[in-house]
Amino acid sequence: MALSGGVDSSVAAAELLHAGHEVVGITMRLWGGDSDTGCCSVADVDDARRVAQQLGIDHLVFNFTDDFHEHVVDPYVQAHRDGITPNPCIECNRHLKFHRLSERADLLGFDAVATGHHARIVQHDGVWRVARGHDPQKDQSYVVHMLPQRELARTLFPIGHLTKAEVRERATALKLRTAAKPDSQDVCFITSTGGRTEFLGTRIPFRRARVVDAVDGTELGEAESLEMITLGQRRGIGLPGGGPKRYVVGIDHATATVRVGDESMLDVDTMRVGDMVWSHEPLEGEVRVQCSAHGATNVATASVVDGEVRLAWHSPQRRVAPGQSVVLYDLTDTFVLGGGIAR
């Protein structure tokens, strides 16, 4: 049982014990630097250890800091250098919280791996699928979309059938020390005091960028750091206040130029999705598509071309920043079909 030191994984461990499983709590030590906003602080590890003591289960700590830097932190920095908007929490799930943890589980002879995600794993038409969690406000199926059949068959999400309120009620009834602990909201290696600017500024050089009108090329201002700008951004792009609302509609890293325009210029009819991971096998046809962790889904027609998924929106949608995760669901908006990275 992956114990993060939060209330969800604490109750998930209790649910497994109640179901009669033999449970060992595992905490992954991922980030060794400053952390005051995420799930990797020293206090979190201590909370996980204390919860394990309360539940009467063994607790182990696995040090995966090198893997975390290789697969999460370094790509995050490189993405900003290259003008891509990364999704580090999904990459952490992909490479660490499931792949590396599953490898270690195999090595030590465990039968199954469990986490405290608000999602469900079900068999649908003979195929294992990630399904949405019972609480629509806390559903995390989007961030665990990358699990293949082998992992789905031996992964457990013990609180997927509970609402967040029910999780806290059970934690309170069990007198778990994490019962009232706030949820982690941000990237664990980005501090609330320094933010992305401080983190990236010590790792890559920032370049100033010209800000121009996307229609006529008129120069409107100058942005301090091209690497901090993403598609659709409206604030912090070096424009004076009081004028019409302008959004970033294009970024040219070769010439350090940011193009801005009306919000409608972000609307597109199609999009490309690469690095696809399918839950079972590639599928074409009508699907529902989610492009952010808690965003709405919209209907599109999917086709597979040269290994990429091409999506044709049924109505124009706001363009998704390259690097963001795009997850496909069935038309009932219940089961994950697969997911990839916006191009």
**Structure token digits, residue 181:** 């602990």
Let me know: does 13 contact 45? Beta carbons within 8 Å.
Answer: no
Whether the CA torsion 270, 272, 276, 281 is positive or negative: it is positive
Would residue 138 be called left, alpha or beta, if left means φ above 0 and alpha means ψ between -120 and 50 degrees? alpha
User: How far is Cα 342 from Cα 321, in angstroms, rounded to an integer?
Assistant: 7
211 DSSP β-pair partners = 221, 258
Question: Of 39, 40, 188, 291, which one is the catalytic site residue?
Answer: 188
- How far apart, in whole angstroms, are the C-alpha atoms of residue 338 and residue 144? 10
User: Does residue 291 carry a catalytic annotation?
Assistant: no
Catalytic residue among 39, 89, 92, 291: 92
Quick check: is 188 catalytic? yes
Spatial separation of the C-alpha atoms in residues 273 and 107, rounded to whole Å: 34
Q: How far is CA 236 from CA 74, 118, 212, 230, 257, in A?
A: 25, 34, 14, 11, 15
Which residue numbers are catalytic? 92, 188
